Amino acid sequence: MRAAAAHRTQTASTIYLICAVAWFVPGAGHIWLGRRQKGIVFLLALTLMFIFGLWLEGRLFPFQIAEPLVALAAIADLGIGCPYFVARALGVGAGNVVKITYEYGNTFIIAAGLLNMLVVLDVFDIAKGRK
């Protein structure tokens, strides 16, 4: 099934839809394309990493164009997709700058978002039939 899915190329609109789903729910793109084991690992690892970052009192950075590094961190945070919006809706991710784990929390959250972006690129390649 996996081999069949890997060789099946998708139409352009379907590819972008799969990438959007892969971004919104980490691992969902791989599951869609029949790579269930990879998808489940991404779903668990990236979501746990993001939650861990919040638990360490890291911050979900705001989009401040005046401060480019903060804006870049905000884009990286957004890379995780759905968990970002859930965290925002729940009011977590304010960050506690005096906590010793603050920078670690930021690192976990940012890395989770950036890794999910890599996962989306992998989904794009698979959907294109390159892998």
Q: Work out which of 51, 101, 102, 117 binds other proteins, going by CB under 8 A.
A: 101
With binding defined as CB under 8 A, does residue 38 bind other proteins?
yes
Instruction: List the end-to-end C-alpha distance of the chain, in Å, as a whole number.
Output: 15
Give the contacts of 7 (CB within 8 A, at least 6 positions apart): 129
Q: Work out which of 20, 48, 75, 92 binds other proteins, going by CB under 8 A.
A: 48
Q: Which two tokens stand for residue 46?
A: 């990236």
With binding defined as CB under 8 A, does residue 77 bind other proteins?
no
Give the contacts of 17 (CB within 8 A, at least 6 positions apart): none
With CB under 8 A, what is the number of residues at the site for other proteins? 21
With binding defined as CB under 8 A, does residue 97 bind other proteins?
no
* HEC per residue, 37-81: HHHHHHHHHHHHHHHHHHHCCCECCCCCCCCHHHHHHHHHHHCCC
With binding defined as CB under 8 A, does residue 52 bind other proteins?
yes
Of 8-16, 77-85, 86-94, 110-118: span binding other proteins (CB under 8 A): 110-118
| Binding interface with other proteins (CB under 8 A) | 37-38, 41-42, 45-46, 48-49, 52, 56, 100-101, 104, 107-108, 111-112, 115, 118-119, 122
